[in-house]
Amino acid sequence: MLERIRSGLLYTETDAAFRDPLRRAELVFAYNAISPAEPERRRQVLERIFGSLGERAVLLSPFHAAFGSNVHIGDDFFGNVNLTFIDDVDIRIGDGVMIAPQVTLATTGHPVHPALREDFRRFSEPIVIEDRVWIGSNVVVLPGVRIGYGSVIGAGSVVSRDIPPMSVAVGVPCRVVRAITDDDLRPRMSEV
């Protein structure tokens, strides 16, 4: 069954029940209740939730996860409030990634035809977010997407296709609008 799930084939809630021990719902709940004044304790709980967690990772409360154990986060990560991981399969986040508020990373979807949605039938495909990516507020990343190195995803986007490295992409559906170039090294506002 695990191979079926990892292959992106349809599976049901009943099929997936054997994976319930991998869910970290109680730990996620506990993390969201820990004061920000206790960073060491917060880190210890995150290490128990996620499959792997890099150095200097910051995740603001609250956050949500279907499992938690399928999330792998690199070094120097920043996740803002209300980050949701629908991690029925792996979500791999590289180093130096910044994620704004209200973002959903969803590895799982459901068939369009209602006859195929019996017993919550679904499919899952991994998400990969490469190093140095910035994802804006209210973005949804759908199953099977890879966001390339250094890219920026504009606020409110729905990412349903891979985004190449060093790109600015926005919209519903999310599309590349331009490359990131050396011109982007200039300060945003002129100094006074």
Q: Which residues are catalytic?
A: 110
Nearest by Cα to 49 from 10, 83, 4: 83
Helix count (H) and strand count (E) of the chain? 4, 19
Strand runs labelled E in 36-157: 52-53, 58-59, 63-65, 71-73, 78-79, 83-86, 91-93, 98-99, 104-106, 108-109, 123-124, 127-129, 134-135, 140-141, 146-147, 152-153
